Amino acid sequence: MNNELDLSQEKPKHGGNLLALRRSLGVLQDVKESWIDLSSAVNRHPWPVPEVPVFLWYELPDLDSLKQAAADYYGANNFVPIAGTQQAIEALPNLLFASEIRHKTKVLVPEVGYQEHGFAWSKWQYAVDTYKNTQDLTVKSWQVLVLIQPNNPSANKLTLAELLSLIETAQVRKAYLIIDEAFIDGVVGASLLSHYQDKAWPACLIVLRSVGKFFGLPGARVGFCFASQLILKGLASVTGPWPIATPATWLLSQAFKDVSWQIQASRDLVSRSQRFEKEIKPLINQFFIALSQSVRWQQSELFYTLFCDEAEGLFEWLQALSIHVRLGDAWLRFALPADTEFDLISKRVQQALLNGQTQGVGQVEEVE
């Protein structure tokens, strides 16, 4: 049995790829001017980035100020700063189990969810299986369970009681529970970190947090892994002494301290969600009414996801209107638009609907 890294697997696809997509279609104009990109589900009203002092580019990173600001923001300090949660997703499979037992170590990941989780464990040749719902978690065996809280893209969440029950199960099995909380910042107190502020941290528990989504700063590539000291020591040894660039370290230290912005951002997400319900959902639903198709919507604080059999048809239709969203297997995910984008989206979709452009998707003309 070969337990080395399997490089033959196809890499998962991601949102936030507008420029690459248009290049592949031979579109050479500056698409950022005319296109609305809702594909990556990050906050479209990001934290306002100030001017970065030039001297920061000349210095190696000192993570002390970032660690302190992060500890205050998260209410916990048992973490390692990382280059986005993706770095931990990549590193953990090679840290937690010896190579000779990986092929028989069972890992459960969501059937619908961030695909990098399953990809990371599969390429290290673990026995990866998927689950559809919480009932599956009780009937399937696992040594590693990956939860996405809330799930991306389904927006499903487990209750605190359900999470604590799974933690107890993991402790009994001497297994690991990895919870990806990349999209949880929009609701104060929703994170499992709040529960453990005054309690001992379970050895089985690993929590991943991201600043890219709520703060709208995916380009900073900053995240945090919360875990036991043993796991943190191992993770720090493979991420190295400078996992985050000096300017990003400085920027996020400021963002974590900006409490007034955080409060306003949470309120703003609620306001834009209400606007999406009122203005965008009814228009998108009209596309399916014209085709006599049923749809199902689910929402999180930062995105809406539509589940339907004609997802690819709607994706192509929206592409023709210069609106880019995330296409999955029978689902589409929409980031909450910025205030300035709502009217543009409504205008383009309304015009296409009035023109009867729900048939012959590939022939829809772009709407300015």
Is residue 269 located within the same domain as residue 179?
no
Is residue 193 located within the same domain as residue 221?
yes
In the block, tokens 């992060």 appear at 70
97 touches 285 (CB < 8 A): no
pTM given for the model: 0.91
**DSSP-assigned states of every residue in 20-84:** HHHHHTT--S-HHHH-EE-SS---SS-----PPPGGGGGS----HHHHHHHHHHHT---EEEESS
Is residue 267 located within the same domain as residue 244?
no
In a domain, 312, yes or no: yes
Is residue 203 located within the same domain as residue 70?
yes
**68-79 tens-digit pLDDT:** 999 999 999 999
In a domain, 349, yes or no: yes
Separation of alpha carbons 118 and 180, rounded Å: 13
Q: Is the pLDDT of residue 358 over 70?
A: no
Q: Domain boundary residue among 230, 259, 288? A: 259
Residue 323 sits at φ, ψ, to 5 deg, of -120, 120
pLDDT of residue 209: 98
Is residue 228 located within the same domain as residue 287?
no
Number of domains in the chain: 2
Q: Domain boundary residue among 227, 259, 291? A: 259
Is residue 232 located within the same domain as residue 200?
yes
In a domain, 8, yes or no: no
**313-342 tens-digit pLDDT:** 999 999 999 999 999 999 999 999 999 999
Is residue 288 located within the same domain as residue 221?
no
pLDDT of residue 182: 96
Q: Provide CB contacts within 8 A for 124, sequence distance 6+.
A: 3, 5, 6, 93, 94, 102
Rg (C-alpha) for the chain, rounded Å, is: 21
Q: Is the pLDDT of residue 364 over 50?
A: no
In a domain, 143, yes or no: yes
pLDDT of residue 367: 30
Neighbouring CB atoms inside 10 A of 14's CB total 13
What integer is the mean pLDDT of 38-61?
96
Maximum average pLDDT range among 134-138, 266-270, 363-367: 266-270
Is residue 226 located within the same domain as residue 214?
yes
| Alpha helices, H only, 75-114 | 85-96
Helix, strand, coil share of the chain (percent; to 5): 45, 15, 40
**242-297 tens-digit pLDDT:** 999 999 999 999 999 999 999 999 999 999 999 999 999 999 998 888 767 788 99
pLDDT of residue 25: 61
Neighbouring CB atoms inside 10 A of 11's CB total 9
Say which CATH number the domain at 352 has: 3.90.1150.10
268 touches 45 (CB < 8 A): yes
In a domain, 6, yes or no: no
In a domain, 11, yes or no: no
What average pLDDT does the structure give for the chain? 91
Say which CATH number the domain at 164 has: 3.40.640.10
pLDDT of residue 33: 62
Is residue 70 located within the same domain as residue 23?
no
Separation of alpha carbons 197 and 176, rounded Å: 20
Closest alpha carbon to 32 in 15, 51, 17, 49: 17
**18-41 tens-digit pLDDT:** 777 666 666 555 555 689 999 999
In a domain, 147, yes or no: yes
Q: Provide CB contacts within 8 A for 120, sequence distance 6+.
A: 89, 90, 92, 93
The percent of residues above 90 in pLDDT, for the chain, comes to 81
Residue 83's domain spans which residues? 58-259
Assign 357 a pLDDT band (cuts: 50, 70, 90): low
**175-228 tens-digit pLDDT:** 999 999 999 999 988 999 999 999 999 999 999 999 999 999 999 999 999 999
In a domain, 52, yes or no: no
Name beta bridge partners: 297: 306
Is residue 106 located within the same domain as residue 225?
yes
Q: State both tokens at 212.
A: 């890219």
Separation of alpha carbons 210 and 224, rounded Å: 7
Separation of alpha carbons 191 and 183, rounded Å: 10
Q: Domain boundary residue among 217, 240, 259? A: 259
Assign 368 a pLDDT band (cuts: 50, 70, 90): very low
More confident residue, 286 or 126: 126
Is residue 226 located within the same domain as residue 100?
yes
Is residue 34 located within the same domain as residue 172?
no
Maximum average pLDDT range among 1-15, 161-175, 348-362: 161-175
